[in-house]
Every structure is written in structure tokens, then in C-alpha cells.
Structure 1
């Protein structure tokens, strides 16, 4: 018997450090505020630090804290590495391998416990995880609708178009995108946003789920307040 379809979304980005974790945590906050059981899942995370006496990736901890069910760091992030570099390289440094089946089972286990699962990818959409699979392959394994976080800075239009094409090429649905301000001094931000809205809607029928400015305190609640409530209801099947 095949596993039941998962409910939730897969969050990817136009690059690393574009705000995937902030957006993922905000989505979890939004879901929790509506009384839904929700959990974050960061299957592969590179770069750990000591938090409360435990070596843990800060993104894993942020997703754990933002979810509405009590989970361990290991449940949220089953494959964490010490070095903050490409995950397959970080794994090799520790003499470990990233097991595709283990990552998928972890997602299925969490999905069975919650109403919605928010899975955060690593880096951009096509990041090698082993000699024969990458993060895009894993997104296909999950089969969840994809949310693309677009880091607003010079070059973001091209990065967004390429990422969207890669998502479609894998047979996945780009359910929406979030613009996150990375460079507050970016020239012509409104014009860039207008182009992103037009092109992602024209090419992929993907709506903008929100625009996040530079926030003094980018806590999940503050980021969630920048998202489009109606669009999120459609994304999560609550409309």
C-alpha cells in the first residue's frame, strides 16, 4: 500500500541565505495560529552550534520552535553536519552519507502526526546530496507543492526564473513565492517586484504569497504578518 499524500509544502530558495528558514517558520506560525497541528522538517542541515548544551543547526532549532507540536531536534533535522558547507561535502568530512530513504521516512513519520508539514530544503533547489541524487530529487519524493523564497537583490529575477523552470522540469507545482528583502539598498525594488509578479504568474501561474521587508526583529509572527492570508489559505487547502 502506498503512503498517503503529504499535506503541506516544500520551501526552497533562489540561493542560500535568502530567508527560507524565516519564511518556513512564519508559515508554521500562521498554521499554528489557526489551530492546526504543524511541524517543520529540515532533512539536511550543514553547520551546527551549541544551543542549550546540544550541537544543533540554528535552522533546525528555529523550525522546531515554530511548530505547534513538541518534537526533538533530531526529529526536525535528522541529518545535521558540523561544517557549514555544501551538505555532501560536509557529510564526506565526517565519513557519513546522506540516506535518501531515511530522509523520506522521517518526513512520512512527521506528516502522519500533523495536519501540515513544512519542509525546508537546503540552499537552492538543485543541491547535491549524494552521488546519485540531489535536493530536487528529494522534493519529487515528497510530492508537495513548492514555495519559492526569492531573495530581493541584484540578479533575483534571473535566479527566480531559473529556479521556477527547474521546479517545473521536475514535474512539481510552484504553488507560490515569497519575496524577502536581502539587500535593503537594492535599486528599483518596486520595479523588480512588478516584473517578478508578472513573469511568475505568466509562466507558472504562481502567486506572490507575501513581501517581507528588512525587519528589526524577524520573529515568525512578524514575518507572518507580511504574508497574504488569502493566498496561504489556498496554498494549504483551507480556502
Structure 2
């Protein structure tokens, strides 16, 4: 069964790419085909092959069969700032429809697992009228939420989950990515996240299962991250 999801985070640096690459690696372990998209990325570096983004390159390495960089990251922006500001500075207009078109081409490849990663948090603007959170709605994708576990994570996670569901989208699962390993009462914080994010909510959206808890790793390579993730909930998603 083919599965596709939009990956978002509670904030910038929550670890979206680390977790997305880990999920793709876990799928490849099963012999599944994988594909990934990073529709817009700022903070790109000039190379002989054009602008390249480290997150998009990390996703590219986990795609089987291999995909051209431009298919994964169609809009690459050099300034390391919010995408809508970076785009304006270089004379590019970001719109939901412009980003959706190449992502539909990617989805049409029908990989066993396709992940499309957002930028920053859920409410990142694209222009004066649209936000990136409208892209998964346009593509009819359920969402995987990456919670960057550090001080303040509980409120950020609950607010993000509520915003996703208020936008009419379902959360297929969430991952606790421990950003600050010395977080006070880490176990208690994780228990609280599991309680509040896993509740059966009154508005018929169902529960959001935890797909894994990834500890702070000195070397968060996808194969190591995959050891802490369970993709059964994603591959069985209906």
C-alpha cells in the first residue's frame, strides 16, 4: 500500500529532517521504495550544480530509487531567513499552487513511502495571503508532527496539533525528538506529551499515535534514528 505524509515540526530546528530521513531509512530496511520532497528551502549554498540545501540533500540520500535534486527541492533560496522574505529578496513569488505542482509530480511516482517536509513550523507564511500549512491540504496529505523536546515543548506541541486539526487535517502520528538531553524531568515531560497528544479528541479526529522517542544523538545518522522509530502506524494508515 502506498503511503504519503507531510512532515511538520513544532518550530524551526525541531528535527524534521532528522526524523524524516530516519522514517525513510526505516522504510528502506523493509525493502520499500521511498521518495521525499522539500518544496521550498532557504539557507542554500552555491555549488557547481546550483543552489543546494543540506536538509534536501539528506532526504535525497534516503530516496530509492534515486531522485534528481530538483525534483526534491524545486525552490532553493540562498538567504538563511524565512522563506517568504528570502523569496521576495530574490524576486520569486511563493504560492501554494506553484509548490503543489512539482510535489504532485513527486507523489505520482507512487513510492511505497513518500514524505514531503515543510519549513519551520506549521504557520510559516508563503506570501501575504497564503501559508505553507495550506500545501498539505492542497495535496490531501495527513501530517506527521515532529516535537522538538526541550523547555516549552508541551505547549508548542499541543498548539501545533490543535492548529493542524483546526485546519481540517489529520495527524497520522508524532515523534518526540529530544533536542536538549538535559531537559529537567525529561521522562515526565515525555509522559505528558504522550498523554495530551494521544487523547481521543471530541472532534472526531481520533488519537495521534507516538511513532517513537529519539534521544539526543551525537551522530544522528538516518540508520541510527531509524532504530527508535516504528513505521507500522504509518504503513497501516487508512
TM-score by length of 2: 0.92
Conservation of the 8 A alpha-carbon contact between 2:211 and 2:233: no
Equivalent position to 2:192, from 185, 192, 195: 195
Out of 110-119 and 59-68, give the one that drifted further. 110-119
Alignment match, 2:217: 215
CA contact (8 A) 2:8 2:143 kept: yes
Match of 1:3 in 2: none
* Aligned equivalents of 1:124, 1:238: Cα separation in 2: 23
The structure with the greater share of residues assigned to helix is: 1
Kindly tell me: are residues 157 and 238 of structure 1, through their superposed partners in 2, closer, same or farther at Cα, counting changes over 3 Å?
closer
Instruction: Output aligned runs, 1:81-160, within 5 Å.
Output: 81-113=77-109, 114-160=111-157
Cα distance in 2 for partners of 1:223, 1:35 equals 17
**Which residue number corresponds to residue 233 of structure 2?**
234
RMSD, aligned α-carbons? 1.7
Structure 2 segments unaligned to the other structure (5+ residues): none
Count of residues paired in the alignment: 231
Query: Residues 7 and 111 of structure 1 are in contact (CA less than 8 Å); yes or no, is this contact kept in structure 2?
Result: no
CA distance in 2, matches of 1:73, 1:99: 20
Q: Are the aligned partners of 1:152 and 1:183 in contact in 2 as well (CA < 8 Å)?
A: yes
Distance, in Å, in 2 between the alignment partners of 1:176 and 1:70 is 26
Which 5+ residue runs of structure 1 have no aligned equivalent?
A: 1-5
1:48 equivalent in alignment to 2:49: no
| Correspondence list, 1:70-89, <5 A | 70-89=66-85
Question: Retained in 2: the 8 A contact 1:8–1:236?
Answer: no
Partners in 2 of 1:11 and 1:53 — Cα distance? 27
Task: Kindly state the Cα deviation for residue 50 of structure 1 after the two structures are TM-superposed.
Answer: 4.1
- The answer as to whether partners of 1:150 and 1:156 remain within 8 angstroms in 2 is yes
3-state SS of paired residue (1:134): coil
Say yes or no: does 1:37 pair with 2:37.
no
Name which of 166, 170, 192 aligns with 2:167: 170
CA distance in 1, matches of 2:236, 2:209: 15
In the TM superposition, what is the alpha-carbon distance from 1:115 to its structure 2 partner?
Answer: 2.5
* Structure 1 contact 28–68 (Cα < 8 Å) conserved: no
